Amino acid sequence: MPGQQSIEQLSINTIRTLAMDAVQTAKSGHPGAPMALAPVAYCLWNQFLRFDPNDPTWPNRDRFVLSAGHASMLLYALLHVSQVKAVNDEGRVTAEPAVSLDEIKRFRQLESKCPGHPEYHLTSGVETTTGPLGQGAANSVGMAMAQRWMAQYFNRPGFALIDYDVFAFCGDGCVMEGVSSEAASLAGHLKLSNLCWVYDNNRITIEGKTSLAFSEEVGARFQAYGWKVTQVKDANDVPALAQAFTAFKNETEGPSLIIVDSHIAFGAPNKQDTHGAHGEPLGEEEIRLTKKNYGWPEDAKFLIPEGVLAHFHAGIAARGKAERHTWLTLFQAYQERYPELAEQLSQMERRQLPENWGRGLTEFPANPKGLATRESSGKVLNAVAKEVPWLMGGSADLAPSTKTRLTFDGAGDFQAGTEGGRNLHFGVREHAMGAILSGMTLSKVRPYGSGFLIFSDYGRPAIRLAALMGIPVIYVFTHDSIGVGEDGPTHQPIEQLASLRAIPGLMTIRPGDANEVVEAWRVIMQLQRQPVVLALTRQAVPTLDRTRYASAGGLAKGAYVLADASDGNPDVLLLTSGSEVSLCVEAYEQLKGEGIKARVVSMPSWELFEQQSQTYRESVIPPAVTARVSVEQATTFGWSQYVGLKGSSIGMHTYGASAPIQDVLKHFGFTVERVVAAVKQQLEMRGNA
């Protein structure tokens, strides 16, 4: 019976049986991995993890990431037995538990704090949303990078203010996914000795044994990446696990991988590991037999034996409380010695900006030749980053093209040994870059990552998860249209804008000239709970004369009237974004000369526009004006919501072509003549010609 077991084994079996019972009650889920990993999680949490359950967001806590998110009940059980407190939307710790026993009983049910896979912001103590395998592992690299930068920036002699470690639990699927390989390679290059992955080597995936498709030596691969690799032959060997974690704590040369060989112990002697490991309950009879093996009351459900909660309170809670108290005392002295740095750390943690963060934002003069918006964005980015020390970023090996390098004195490069640098180098690793950006953002620095818009496809899973989490990651994508020219259809984005606009919670901004770029960055920097894509041109676009046309400040509302009929009552609307704004302005001027009353609406951000009042939206796009033409060098998908069923959309219906830019634009009909003809056709259809 439970009372006859050691408190250590009792605690481990409590985690296991909570997982079994929750999955069985929900009639869905993955009990196997939580059961196998319970000793590993117990050892880490109750003996090593620097984490205070009474303040699960204090800045110098260790981070725990369950990359194998299907094992979510492992994390929920840990949060419950550790008695972690809930944090409200304002960031304040409450008296409520993050995960109550009632919530565990409602595992995978509507509005439960225990969804099928861990979700950041929904459940306190969940550091990142995981489930798509490998993502959490890559997030953890971003967390470790953020710690390294913060330590370099904030720490001072005698004030080791930021020195947390990052742990991630990974399964076979995580180490198979390409994103984790990309991230692990970068982590090894950067020698992130504050990062530890635990690989649950149970040799099982959904289809069966991993040998069906996976035969590499994982340890050798990670050694080649520059990781320190340790193997624990039995997941139940807590002393060996403790020795492995101690070795990680003492490691200074690079990240650590602890390979843990696990076996899921079921009650029936011939039970296959695949049953219950990935995706189905064990069944009542199997649960009874398994509990009998554990020395557990066979019919007890959601049992937490006496002494278990007290054991975790004496372990992780007592240790975490003492460590947090020591840190707060240190921070108080730090505030007195370094008040400016202390204020910056507080601002960063609250996602606030320095008071004068925007003082470098100036208006660009009108210029018919203009600048590529990637060029103007690079200038604006540098002006902002000078004033916001925790704004940093880089590219998937394309910074010279995306113009995202920080060039002011002291910006520096983030490398092993120079972790205070603010130029990040991700290599040709778009997917890992996106996931690493999320991990850094979750650590409260403000990162951006860049590449060509066409390669947003390579990072889309990470972008989607950032939107799901509601975190303000910045993605700067250039070469945003067929204006790429000679590079041809492999590099010319067609469907990417539409697919990014389709992601709930993601803001896309496609500015039309240099001054819209200024206003775009003004919006971006003030976002606190929303990721954003900034889509920029490779080619130069005119900087519009804002004494003749409306202020670029209208970008803050997503869409605005840029040029209008003299009486404010247009007969036709031209709806556009990005590099096509100047094309529509040219067409507008020609139409005006012919006595046709047109209005140009610049629509850099559909998402921002949809947030405005109906009154404002109808003032920009009047329902009574049904003659409408949209112009965008991308698929026309989505524009029908603005042009209506009878409106016209000039866009792309095929992939692009390889040729000089002017030839490509003419070939696909992005000319003043085509726009004017489409307007006249719209007016003729309505008898207004």
Q: Do 177 and 82 share a structural domain?
A: yes
Distance CA 481, CA 655 (A): 11
For residues 424-437, average pLDDT? 98
Among 542, 576, 605, residue at a domain's last position: 542
DSSP state string for 78-140 = HHHHTTPEEE-TTS-EEEEESS-HHHHHTTTSTT-SS-SS--TTTSTT--S---STTHHHHHH
Residue 12: DSSP 8-state: H
Quick check: is 673 in a domain?
yes
Quick check: is 402 in a domain?
yes
Q: Do 420 and 374 share a structural domain?
A: yes
Task: Please answer whether residues 121 and 57 qualify as being in contact, where contact means their C-beta atoms are separated by less than 8 angstroms.
Answer: no
Lowest pLDDT segment from 196-200, 249-253, 290-294, 377-381: 290-294
Quick check: is 250 in a domain?
yes
Q: Do 511 and 618 share a structural domain?
A: no
pLDDT at 481: 97
User: Taking the CA atoms of the chain, what radius of gyration do you get in angstroms?
Assistant: 28
120: phi > 0 → left, psi -120 to 50 → alpha, else beta; which?
beta
Task: Choose, from 119, 430, 516, 519, the residue flagged as catalytic.
Answer: 430
Q: Do 294 and 212 share a structural domain?
A: yes
3-state secondary structure 593-611: HCCCCEEEEECCCHHHHHC
Which band of pLDDT confidence, cut at 50, 70 and 90, is reported for residue 273? very low
Task: Please answer whether residues 276 and 51 qualify as being in contact, where contact means their C-beta atoms are separated by less than 8 angstroms.
Answer: no
Helix axes 456-469, 135-154, angle to 10 degrees: 80
pLDDT at 209: 86
Which band of pLDDT confidence, cut at 50, 70 and 90, is reported for residue 277? very low
Which band of pLDDT confidence, cut at 50, 70 and 90, is reported for residue 215? confident
Q: Do 568 and 534 share a structural domain?
A: no
Q: Do 319 and 401 share a structural domain?
A: no
pLDDT at 319: 98
Q: Give residues with Cβ within 8 angstroms of 247, minimum separation 6.
A: 228, 230, 256
Residue 355 annotated among the catalytic residues of the structure: no
Which band of pLDDT confidence, cut at 50, 70 and 90, is reported for residue 1? low
Q: Do 287 and 202 share a structural domain?
A: yes
Residue 276, pLDDT above cutoff 80 = no
Instruction: Encode 206-224: b = buried (16+ Cβ within 10 Å), e = exposed.
Output: eeeebeeeeeeebbebbee
Quick check: is 614 in a domain?
yes
Quick check: is 360 in a domain?
no
pLDDT at 415: 97
C-alpha distance from residue 413 to each of 253, 477, 592 (Å): 19, 21, 51
Q: Do 511 and 648 share a structural domain?
A: no
Quick check: is 342 in a domain?
no
pLDDT at 337: 98
For residues 353-358, average pLDDT? 96
Distance CA 605, CA 611 (A): 10
Identity of the amino acid at 44: L
pLDDT at 208: 81
Q: Do 376 and 239 share a structural domain?
A: no
C-alpha distance from residue 336 to each of 328, 339, 353, 389 (Å): 13, 6, 21, 21
Residue 258, pLDDT above cutoff 60 = yes
The token duo for 244 is: 């492995």
Q: What is the pLDDT of residues 102-144, one digit of tens each?
A: 999 999 999 999 999 999 989 999 999 999 999 999 999 999 9
Residue 267, pLDDT above cutoff 80 = no
Quick check: is 547 in a domain?
no
For residues 42-69, average pLDDT? 98
Q: What is the pLDDT of residues 290-305, one digit of tens each?
A: 999 999 999 999 999 9
Residue-range definition of the domain harbouring residue 388:
367-542
| Number of domains observed in the structure of the chain | 3
Q: Do 559 and 503 share a structural domain?
A: no
CATH number, domain containing residue 94: 3.40.50.970
pLDDT at 475: 98
Residue 621's nearest CA partner among 685, 684, 560, 553 is 560
Among 323, 357, 389, residue at a domain's last position: 323
Q: Do 527 and 618 share a structural domain?
A: no
The predicted model scores a pTM of 0.96
SS3 content of the chain, % helix, strand, coil (to 5): 45, 15, 40
For residues 592-600, average pLDDT? 97
For residues 449-459, average pLDDT? 97
Q: Tell me how crowded residue 265 is: count the other CB atoms within 10 A of its CB.
A: 16
CATH number, domain containing residue 628: 3.40.50.920
Q: What is the pLDDT of residues 533-573, one digit of tens each?
A: 999 999 999 999 999 999 999 999 999 999 999 999 999 99
Residue 235, pLDDT above cutoff 60 = yes
Q: Do 138 and 25 share a structural domain?
A: yes
pLDDT at 272: 46
Quick check: is 117 in a domain?
yes
pLDDT at 266: 56
pLDDT at 301: 96
Among 266, 295, 323, residue at a domain's last position: 323
Mean pLDDT, the chain, rounded, equals 95
